[in-house]
């Protein structure tokens, strides 16, 4: 990591316009500008309001089940032979992933602004389920946009959303995955902006979304920092998290930004291998551009068209990434690497068999890289891996890879 | 004076409203576009908005999304669109052309290169849907240095202070999006549009074009009574979609729609 960056300043971004260095910002059509400004004002007021904080914390404790454990995975550590691997168990949250931290927060914002309807985009369906869940609880009308391809590969979550009372809208345009679901959600929002709150599922999109999603997810890193100090008596040497849009990763990383000795590794979806072009790794293999309301690293061709992505995991199958990660990359504060489909599946099986924990395929990317990294580190060093979600939703995909029809 | 300002001045003197058709460049095939542009001018178009195809047109409804997909089937890129403008300019030195699209293709090409190439091709204005004035300081400056107008959107949700701010940045004309929604969605409410335009005129003398929700000669006429420019897109693009298998018919049939609107607007 370069030694000349001001870590305190880095941790205080974005600036008032939502910029993280050259990234972030608010690149949307005019119709949405007023709504975003209003959201920003509401958020800035409520986030400082003790009553809001108290309600948020209470929901996280009693509804989500926080704090989530930090589990010392001794068997996996022994199996790998190297640094001590600790798992931040976001998979144990209500609804099975970190996504609920953010939807609880945004649903509270929706409630305070009096909007009767919420919409969301979803890839793996975890954010869709988390949104449908909070909508059910608060009595809000809920529609979830999901790429047609993802509707197929995450059928279980589609049905969960329906049971929760949400309507799932299958998106047939473009590449029929997460980015297209996000396009469609934006189109809905532009049309119904007066009565609709758009609950974005990751730390991307126009300002203030990257900031507020991060703030809601930072509970992961704050807890992990505290738990690591309690259990190991010191801070970890490295953090590892998978990066789709980047919400679970930024939630873990952010509270550690000023801890200069803690290394951070974001793991993107390497798909069939970054060298094949069939992947979803914009930070590893893309370049800066503008999509979905923010400037960030993207996968686009030389004409500026967004390229189709590939990943075995629907939740990572996205050509962009949250803008804060782009800046953490450029400043060198975090490092971005990838794990291929095969590496992720191997890690899925390893964690399942060795620790009895079945991770989401998204999270398996982080586990895969952590296993590699641990080998190169000493036994007295510590890696904290964000186990962002559980694997139940992926059983069909795994079975299919095994040639089994459930 | 820019070609855009000249056109609006002339129309004003004649007591007429500008008719501004939108089509997506390269839809359904690259060979169709230039002839179509000439046809539309002949039928009475005053300014042309030429869409630059983009893979993720977030502010567009299904009609223009599909147009982008058809154009991208032939890989029509920003530089190809500029080549079409240059070809159009060989026979038409007067009709202003405004490129309409999304930022990423321009961002990837680079603002400076884009401005130089666009100027060379004969582009007069650029409307980038996802580039509000807040984010366009550098862009606006470079366009200005190349005498290209930066056209901004105003929406029903744009409040007074912001109207003023946008008016200070835009040139050529301002594009009032008449409905909350994507292109090709609901019909507009002429009285609401008229009220908003009155408000906007308190802040600017730049001509005001109105788009989204103009579906036929009747609505074009109604809007022309209150606006300086009438922008039509989805109706034309829909016609193009119907004629994908009969491409010779595209220029004449789209031009016929323009002609009807022109006649209605001028009567
Ligand atoms: C379990 C899990 N992890 C990670 C992700 C990726 O999202 P993000 O990068 O925002 O954490 C998803 C998205 O669906 C997910 O379900």
In tens, the pLDDT along B51-97 reads: 999 999 999 999 999 999 999 999 999 999 999 999 999 999 999 99
Per-residue confidence (pLDDT) for residue A3, from 0 to 100: 61
Asked whether the predicted pLDDT for residue A99 surpasses 90, the reply is yes
- A303–chain B Cβ distance below 8 A for any pair: yes
Closest C-alpha residue for ligand 1 atom 1: A389
Closest C-alpha residue for ligand 1 atom 4: A362
A36 vs A264: CA distance, rounded Å: 31
Of A29, A187, A194, the CB nearest to B130: A29
A155 or A291: whose pLDDT is higher? Answer: A291
Orientation angle between helical segments B78-91 and B111-121, nearest 10 degrees? 20
List the single residue in A with minimal CA-CA distance to B101. Answer: A29
- B154–chain A Cβ distance below 8 A for any pair: yes
A204 vs A321: CA distance, rounded Å: 6
A373 vs A60: CA distance, rounded Å: 32
List the single residue in A with minimal CA-CA distance to B174. Answer: A30
Give buried/exposed letters for A166-193 (b at 16+ CB in 10 A, else e).
bebbbbebbbbbbbbbbbbbbbbbbbbb
Closest C-alpha to A49, from A118, A124, A10, A105 = A105
Q: Looking at residues B173-199, what average pLDDT do you find?
A: 90
**B149, B4 Cβ separation under 8 angstroms:** yes
Cα separations in angstroms, A337 against A11, A101, A289, A333, B234? 22, 25, 20, 13, 44
Asked whether the predicted pLDDT for residue B180 surpasses 90, the reply is no
Q: Looking at residues A366-384, what average pLDDT do you find?
A: 98
E strand or H helix at A363: helix A361-375
A17 labelled catalytic: no
H-assigned helices in B74-125: 78-91, 103-109, 111-121
Ligand 1 atom nearest residue A127's Cα:
14
List the single residue in A with minimal CA-CA distance to B106. Answer: A304
- A29–chain B Cβ distance below 8 A for any pair: yes
This complex has an ipTM of 0.96
Closest C-alpha to A102, from A65, A56, A159 = A56
Catalytic residue among A284, A326, A364, A388: A388
User: How many Cβ contacts (< 8 angstroms) between chains A and B?
Assistant: 123
Interface test with A, best of B26, B55, B139 (most A CBs within 10 A): B55
How is residue B79 written in tokens? 């530089």
- A273–chain B Cβ distance below 8 A for any pair: no
Give SS3 for A286: coil
How is residue A157 written in tokens? 């979550």
For residue A123 and ligand 1, the question of a CB distance below 6 A is answered with yes
- B30–chain A Cβ distance below 8 A for any pair: no
Kindly report the nearest CA distance between residue B6 and chain A, in angstroms: 27
Q: Give the β-pairing of A141-147 and A287-291.
A: unpaired
Asked whether the predicted pLDDT for residue A386 surpasses 90, the reply is yes
Asked whether the predicted pLDDT for residue B188 surpasses 90, the reply is no
Whether A303 and B157 lie within 8 Å, measured CB to CB: no
Question: How far does residue A269's CA lie from ligand 1's centre (Å)?
Answer: 11
A121 labelled catalytic: yes
A27 contact residues in B (CB cutoff 8 A): 103, 130-132, 135
Whether B132 and A194 lie within 8 Å, measured CB to CB: no
**B178, B195 Cβ separation under 8 angstroms:** no
**What are the structural domains, with CATH classification, of chain B?**
3-266 (3.20.20.70)
Per-residue confidence (pLDDT) for residue B78, from 0 to 100: 98
Closest C-alpha to B225, from B10, B16, B7 = B16
A405 vs B177: CA distance, rounded Å: 51
Q: Across chain A, what does the average pLDDT equal?
A: 96
- A354–chain B Cβ distance below 8 A for any pair: no
| pTM, two decimal places | 0.97
DSSP A121-139: EESSSHHHHHHHHHHHHHT
Catalytic residue among A68, A88, A90, A99: A99
- Torsion on CA atoms A24, B169, B203, B99, rounded to nearest 10: -90
Closest C-alpha residue for ligand 1 atom 10: A247
What pLDDT band is residue B213 in, cutting at 50, 70 and 90? confident
Closest C-alpha to A193, from A5, A366, A35 = A35
Mutate which of A92, A151, A202 for ligand 1? The one with the most ligand atoms within 8 Å of its CB, which is: A202
B65 vs B183: CA distance, rounded Å: 9
What pLDDT band is residue A355 in, cutting at 50, 70 and 90? very high
Per-residue confidence (pLDDT) for residue B193, from 0 to 100: 95
Judged by phi (left if over 0) then psi (alpha if -120 to 50, else beta), residue B104 lies in alpha
Share of chain A above pLDDT 70, in %: 99
Q: Give the β-pairing of A84-89 and A335-340.
A: unpaired
Per-residue confidence (pLDDT) for residue A124, from 0 to 100: 86
Per-residue confidence (pLDDT) for residue A2, from 0 to 100: 62
Q: Looking at residues A286-299, what average pLDDT do you find?
A: 98
Residue whose token pair is 């979304």:
A209
Closest C-alpha residue for ligand 1 atom 6: A244
Catalytic residue among A40, A90, A121, A355: A121
């Amino acid at each position: 990591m370069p030694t000349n960056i001001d870590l305190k300043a880095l941790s205080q971004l974005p600036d008032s316009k939502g910029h993280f260095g050259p990234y972030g910002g608010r690149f949307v059509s005019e119709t949405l500008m007023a709504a975003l400004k209003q959201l920003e004002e509401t958020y800035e007021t409520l986030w400082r309001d003790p009553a809001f904080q108290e309600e948020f914390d209470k929901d996280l404790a009693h509804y989500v089940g926080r704090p989530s454990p930090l589990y010392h995975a001794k068997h996996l550590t022994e199996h790998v032979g190297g640094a001590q691997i600790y798992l931040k168990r976001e998979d144990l949250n209500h609804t099975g992933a970190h996504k609920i931290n953010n939807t609880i927060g945004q649903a509270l914002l929706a409630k305070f602004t009096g909007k009767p309807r919420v919409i969301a985009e979803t890839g793996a369906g975890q954010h869709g389920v988390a949104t449908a869940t909070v909508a059910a609880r608060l009595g809000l009308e809920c529609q979830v946009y999901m790429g047609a391809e993802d509707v197929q590969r995450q059928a279980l979550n589609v049905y969960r959303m329906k049971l929760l009372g949400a309507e799932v809208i299958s998106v047939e345009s473009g590449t029929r995955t997460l980015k297209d679901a996000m396009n469609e959600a934006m189109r809905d929002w532009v049309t119904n902006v007066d009565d609709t709150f758009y609950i974005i599922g990751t730390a991307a999109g126009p300002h203030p979304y990257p900031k507020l999603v991060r703030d809601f997810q930072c509970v992961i890193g704050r807890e992990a920092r505290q738990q690591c100090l309690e259990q190991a008596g010191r801070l970890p040497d490295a953090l590892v998290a998978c990066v789709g849009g980047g919400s679970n990763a930024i939630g873990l990383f952010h509270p550690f930004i000023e801890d200069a000795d803690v290394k951070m590794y974001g793991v993107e979806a390497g798909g069939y291998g970054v060298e094949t072009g069939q992947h979803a790794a914009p930070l590893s293999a893309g370049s800066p551009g503008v999509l979905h309301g923010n400037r960030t690293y993207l996968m686009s061709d030389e004409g500026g068209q967004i390229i189709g992505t590939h990943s075995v995991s629907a939740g990572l199958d996205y050509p962009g990434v949250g803008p804060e990660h782009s800046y953490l990359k450029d400043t060198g504060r975090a490092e971005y690497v990838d794990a291929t489909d095969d590496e992720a599946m191997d890690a899925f099986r390893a964690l399942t068999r060795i620790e009895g924990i079945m991770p989401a395929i998204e999270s398996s990317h982080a586990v895969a890289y952590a296993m590699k990294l641990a080998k190169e580190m000493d036994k007295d060093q510590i890696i904290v891996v964000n186990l962002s979600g559980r694997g139940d939703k992926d059983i069909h995909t795994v079975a299919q890879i095994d040639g089994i029809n459930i | 004076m820019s070609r855009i300002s000249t056109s609006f001045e002339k129309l004003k003197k004649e007591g007429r409203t500008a008719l501004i058709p939108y089509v997506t460049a390269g839809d359904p095939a690259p060979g169709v576009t230039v002839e179509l542009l000439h046809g539309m001018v002949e039928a009475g178009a005053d300014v042309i908005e030429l869409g630059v195809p983009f893979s993720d047109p977030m502010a567009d409804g299904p009609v223009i999304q599909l147009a982008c997909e058809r154009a991208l089937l032939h890989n029509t890129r920003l530089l190809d669109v500029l080549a079409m403008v240059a070809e159009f300019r060989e026979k038409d030195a007067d009709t202003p052309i405004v490129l309409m699209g999304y930022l990423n293709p321009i961002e990837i090409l680079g603002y400076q290169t884009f401005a130089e190439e666009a100027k060379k091709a004969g582009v007069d204005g650029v409307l980038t849907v996802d580039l509000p004035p807040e984010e366009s300081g550098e862009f606006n400056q470079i366009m200005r240095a190349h005498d290209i107008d930066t056209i901004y959107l105003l929406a029903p949700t744009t409040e007074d202070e912001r109207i003023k701010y946008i008016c200070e940045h835009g040139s050529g004309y301002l594009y009032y999006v008449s409905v909350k929604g994507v292109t090709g969605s609901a019909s507009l409410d002429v009285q609401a549009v008229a009220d908003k335009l009155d408000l906007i005129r308190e802040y600017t003398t730049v001509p005001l074009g109105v788009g989204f929700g103009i579906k036929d000669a009747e609505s074009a006429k109604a809007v022309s009574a209150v606006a300086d420019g009438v922008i039509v897109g989805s109706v034309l693009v829909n016609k193009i979609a119907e004629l994908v298998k009969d491409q010779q018919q595209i220029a004449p049939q789209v031009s016929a729609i323009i002609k009807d609107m022109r006649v209605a607007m001028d009567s």
